[in-house]
Structures are given as structure tokens and as C-alpha cells.
Structure 1
């Protein structure tokens, strides 16, 4: 009987020692590193989503957007630069073309058209035509025009010329001088070049 009690006590002590080595299961149990999911070896994340790359935009930041160019539907008229305005205005070539047209009209004996190319001619069209009664034709050599002189609401340009005017008696009269042409840049004015005055000397 005494031996049975002693054996029972030894077995009970051994059972208690064995149970004491176990950790309690439940909510207080601690997960070890091996129990966590690990990323794949190719760089994927533990959630299975692809890892962000260096070139991936930050989704929490709005990139600065470039303003879209103005269109007619925006109701904003594009600005006009001085360069584009200058290209639309009659320039030096247009002034030279007026002088060429002037003498072409005289040689065609279209004196009304030639008279209309003057800005303010004190002569009537008939008086102007009478001045060329003895002229059979005029050849003109146009020199290098001067710069366009910008005034208040107007433009001027000076163009040198050499003329050879054939006369009905067979002689040829030579003239040198210059024309001054004018154009208006004010609203309602004449935007085209017109002859303002001429200074010619017979050689």
C-alpha cells in the first residue's frame, strides 16, 4: 500500500512537469517569424500586389497639369504679336509696287488710274492727263527705298527714282529725284500706300 502511494505520487509529479513545458494556446499565443507570409523571391509583396517601381507616380500627389492652348471654343482670342501685325501691314514692297503701277498706267495712257494713286493731287484728272500730252512713254529705275517712318497714325517712305521720258518730238528727257509715299494706320484711313509728293529734277 505504501509502495502504491509512492508510485502514484511520482507519476503525478512527472505529469505536472510535462504539462508545465507546454505554452498555453489561445489569444495570448505569440506568432513566430516562421508563421508570417514571406514575399516571393522575385520581389513581390506579401499581399500579392506588385511592388511599386521607381517610375510609378505617387497616387497621393496630383501632377502639375500643363494648361491647354486656347481654342475658339474657350472664348479666348489668341494674342497678336507685333511681328505678326507687321507681316499683315503693307511694307516696302507694296510701296515700290505702287510706283511701278503708277508708271505702267502712264505708259498705258490710263491717266485716271495714275491720278488715283496720288493721295492729294491738286490737279484734276483732266489737268493731270494734259501734262502727259507730249509724252510717248516713261521708263523708271527705282532705287533702294528708305526705312518706313512711323508717325502718329501714319507711315511714310521715301523712294529714289531715275526717269527717262520719251517725247513726241523724239527727244528723251532724263529726271532724277524721289517720291514720298504715305499710308494711314488709323481706323477709317486709307491703309494702302499713296503718292504724297514727288521731287524731280531734269538732268
Structure 2
């Protein structure tokens, strides 16, 4: 019986792995990425929406719309944010408007959308937020708080002077 040497095969495998290693995806540490998804208040919902927009997590941002309230054409909606690099938002006061198992909020906002060319666009307006009363949701899937609509208007006022729009 002839004894085979496995050295050439093992050497070939290690050489291949050594050459291929730089082509493999890098290891991602938990500290290397950020994520925000908070629907506990209308303000946190809108902050999460703009966090997703700022990080180009468009599917996540689109998911903050209530069922039936999202823009019809996802690609067209997404392209509307193509030149946006980050969004900062501030809020006016809001209070829940409950009725018949539904809770609505009218949330005044002012926001600054930084553009790829270094300029900022400032908008004021109102988000309409909805949530079915959690105590009345007995069948899955659970329907979390979501955006029903937004009415935003570009303003010529600087963000630090902008006041959240009226609702």
C-alpha cells in the first residue's frame, strides 16, 4: 500500500484561504452600527423615521406608515430622499385625541434636511399619527403606532429660528 502525502492538498487549501480572506465580508461588531426603532410616542416614531431616512434605511422608514397610508410608489418616494444626507427634527406640543378605540395625534414639526451639496432645506408642518388602542387589539398581527399623513412646507427660515408648524 502506497502512503500518500496530504501535505500538498493541505498546503493548497491554506494558500487558497489566505488569498481569499481579503475578499470575504468584514466582521461587524455590535459597536460598528446604530439602529433606532422606537414607536413609544409620536415624537419617538418621527425621530425613528428620520433616523432611518438619514441612514438610507428606506424600507424601515417606509414601514412607519400605517397600513394603507404609505405612498403608492416606494421607488419614487425613496428617490425623493436621494439628495438627503441627514435630518434633524424638533417638535411642538401634542396630546392624544382618543375615540372609539382609536388614538390620534397631530404632531407639529420643524425639520432641517441636509443635502448632498452641503445646503439645508428647512420644513415646517404637521404629522398625523395613529394607533389602535392596544387594549382593544386582541388578534394578531399587532398594529403599532404609525404615520397616517404629513403636511410639510419648505420655509425660508433658518432651522434654529423655525417654529414647528401648526396642525
TM-score (normalised: structure 2): 0.60
Q: Which residue of 1 aligns with 2:127?
A: 179
Cross-structure match for 1:202: 154
> Aligned equivalents of 2:124 and 2:131: distance in 1?
24
CA-CA distance at 1:97 after TM superposition: 1.1
Aligned match of 2:82: 133
Q: SS of the residue aligned with 2:41? A: helix
Select the structure with the greater relative contact order (CA < 8 A; seq sep ≥ 6).
Answer: 2
- Aligned-residue CA RMSD in angstroms? 1.9
Counterpart contact for 2:131–2:143, Cα < 8 Å: yes
Q: Counterpart in 2 of 1:117?
A: 64
CA distance in 2, matches of 1:113, 1:134: 18
Counterparts of 2:109 and 2:60, CA distance in 1: 20
Deviates more, 1:133-142 or 1:119-128: 119-128
User: How many residue pairs were aligned?
Assistant: 111
Counterpart residue number, 1:193: 145
Task: Identify, as 1 or 2, the structure richer in strand.
Answer: 2
Structure 1 residue runs of 5 or longer lacking an equivalent are: 1-91
The question of whether the paired residues in 1 share the 8 Å contact of 2:92 and 2:108 is answered with yes
Which entry has the higher C-alpha Rg, 1 or 2? 1
Question: Is residue 71–residue 77 contact of structure 2 (8 Å, CA) maintained in 1?
Answer: no
Question: Structure 2 CA distance, aligned partners of 1:144 and 1:93?
Answer: 16
Partner residue of 1:155?
A: 103
Q: What TM-score does the superposition give when structure 1 sets the normalisation length? A: 0.50
Question: Which of structure 1's runs of 4+ aligned residues deviate more than 3 A?
Answer: 186-191
Residues 133-183 of structure 1: per-residue CA shift (max 9 Å, x gap): 1112111112222x2111222110111111111122232111111111001
Q: Is the contact made by 2:129 and 2:147 (CA closer than 8 Å) also made in structure 1?
A: yes
Contact conserved, 2:90 with 2:111, CA < 8 A, in 1? yes
